[in-house]
Structure 1
Amino acid sequence: MPKRNKELSLEQREELLRTLKARFEKNMNRHKELEWAKVQEKLEANTEKLWSLNEMEITGGEPDVVGHDKKSGEYIIYDCSAESPKGRRSVCYDLEALESRKKHKPENNAIDMATEMGIELLTEEQYRELQELGSFDLKTSSWVQTPANIRKLGGAIFCDRRYDTVFVYHNGAESYYAARGFRGSLRLRI
């Protein structure tokens, strides 16, 4: 992924903040005891995180606040799109997997895309937490952070929701499908 300017124009910042506020207010079940004004204040003070949120937004992630970590004092933001973000599908798991493909290579990989965006892939635990807030990935699936012992053996894990149940599966890390992408998380210090 080529390096991009990580600064948003004033117009882009204002547009993103309007979008995030509308989503926050529409989905209060995700963050019942939190106030938008406090979230916005921290976003405006941290342009790098705002840039990352914009990347989540333009790739179809529909980021939203899903909690507050009282220990660290951070807001927790996940991709909350109904399906795996459209602009992050058809990618294998990581660079090693991408380089191992001899033919029909995908354009990118989940780990490098997330790093470039300034976010992290959801863990399996975070994915399950997200599913407590609604029904996500009913038609798609999402790569999640894979334990080192599984990755060392060539595999990677992904999740989806079918039959009102969250499933965790495995695949070769080099595999990619049009219906598989990844969801990210971002932490914002209060």
Structure 2
Amino acid sequence: MTPTPFEQHPVSPGSDPFTPLVPEPARQEPVERPEKLRLRVTRPGPNAILLTAAGEVDSTTVTRFREVLLPRLSATARLLVVDLGAVEFLSVPGLELLRYAHSQAFNRGMLLRLVVNTHAVRRAMWQTGLDTVLENHPTVASALEAVPEERVPEGVASTGIAESPGSVLNGER
């Protein structure tokens, strides 16, 4: 019985002129993947905090996002701007975190503004209806305009009298 090609003994390299010498692959160190979510916190003014996010906010990165975002709500600043301008993907847990952060900011008399200028984030916000709940701005500069000097919840005038949704005080809204 003739052995099948798989049962034949291989020819050792170098003994056959038609078998090329193939060097053993070199061991490579594992390639470090760039982080899926990069976060940076700056203080552009005494009453404002800017949290810049870049990458993806998904189920694997939302915990880290939460750990950086939520402590900023207890700061003495009156405005927290979350720049999502370089976020390529925003999942449901990320959206829920932003909604929660908004309610916590409101309860503490702080304003939370988002910078939303990518299609992926705009679409996620629109699909969940958060685009009508959370204050969105196209640029960081516009989100940092009109930093309140006092920690006053949205919808309450500096006199402590609740405003109606359409009212304008001192030409601002």
* TM-score bin, normalised by smaller chain: under 0.3
TM-score (norm 2): 0.26
**Structure number having the greater helix percentage:** 1
More contact order relative to length (CA 8 Å, sep ≥ 6)? 1
TM-score (norm 1): 0.25
Q: Which has the larger radius of gyration?
A: 2
